[in-house]
Chains A and B, each alone.
Chain A
Amino acid sequence: MSEVLGIFMTLEGFILSLTVFALAIFLGFELISKVPPTLHTPLMSGANAISGISIVGALLAANSGEANTATILAFFAIVLATINVVGGFLVTNRMLQMIRGKKRGGN
Chain B
Amino acid sequence: MVEVSSLLDIGYLISATLFIFGIKMLGSPKTAPKGNMYGALGMFVAVIVTVLKMQLSDGGIEGWMWILLGLGLGAAIGYWMATTVEMTGMPELVALFNGFGGAASALVALSEALKVYTSETYEIASPIFQVYHLIPILAIGASALVGWMTLTGSLVAMFKLKGGFTIPFTKKWVRFPTWGPSWLNYVKSGLFLTGLIMILMTLNDPGNLGLIYGIVGVSCVLGILFVLPIGGADMPVVVSLLNSLSGIAAAFTGFVVGNTVLIIAGSMVGAAGLILTFIMCKAMNRELFDVLFKAFGGSAKESLTRTKVGSDPEEVAMVLDGISKCIIVPGYGMAVSQSQHLVKEFADILEENDVDVSYAIHPVAGRMPGHMNVLLAEANVPYEKLIEMDEINSEFSECDVALVIGANDTVNPAARSGEGPLGGMPIIDADKAGVVVIIKRSLSVGYAGVDNDLFYEDKTMMLFGDGKKMMTELNSALKEL
A-side residues, CB < 8 A to B, are 1-2, 4-9, 11, 13-14, 17, 20-21, 24-29, 31-65, 68-71, 73-103, 105-106
Contact = CB atoms under 8 A, between A and B. Distances in A.
B261 interface: yes
Contact of B279 (A32, A41, A106): A32
Given A21-B254, A39-B27, A80-B104, 19 more contacts: A21-B255, A25-B267, A40-B240, A40-B280, A40-B369, A43-B23, A45-B94, A47-B247, A48-B243, A50-B42, A51-B265, A51-B273, A58-B104, A62-B66, A82-B71, A88-B78, A90-B82, A98-B373, A102-B380
A20 to B, nearest CB: 6
Interface of B: 19-20, 22-24, 26-29, 32-33, 35-37, 39-40, 42-43, 46-47, 50-51, 54, 61-63, 66-67, 69-71, 73-75, 77-79, 81-83, 85, 87, 90-91, 93-94, 97-98, 100-101, 103-105, 107-108, 110-112, 114-116, 118-119, 121, 128, 130, 132-133, 135-136, 236, 239-240, 243, 246-247, 249-251, 253-276, 279-280, 283, 361, 363, 368-371, 373-374, 376-378, 380-384, 386, 388
26 contacts: A6-B136, A8-B133, A9-B133, A24-B267, A25-B271, A28-B267, A33-B27, A40-B276, A41-B369, A41-B374, A46-B22, A51-B266, A53-B43, A53-B265, A55-B47, A56-B257, A56-B262, A62-B111, A65-B63, A69-B114, A73-B107, A77-B70, A79-B70, A81-B104, A101-B378, A105-B383
Contacts of A48: 94, 97-98, 101, 243, 246, 269
A44 B274 CA distance: 10
A54 B112 CA distance: 13
A14 to B, nearest CB: 5
A60 B267 contact: no
B460 to A, nearest CB: 27
Given A40-B279, A60-B50, A82-B73, A8 B258 contact: yes
A24 B263 contact: yes
A27 B74 CA distance: 30
Contacts of B81: 83, 87
Contacts of B104: 52, 54-55, 57-58, 77-78, 80-81, 84
B23 A46 contact: yes
A78 B78 contact: no
A64 B63 contact: yes
Contacts of B363: 37
A25 B270 contact: yes
Nearest to B363: A37
| Chain A interface helix/strand/loop/mixed | helix
Nearest to B83: A90
Contact of B105 (A20, A54, A102): A54
Contact of A39 (B26, B70, B118, B269): B26
A45 B368 CA distance: 11
A24 B29 contact: no
Contact of A50 (B39, B118, B239, B255): B39
A47 to B, nearest CB: 5
A49 B240 CA distance: 13
B382 to A, nearest CB: 4
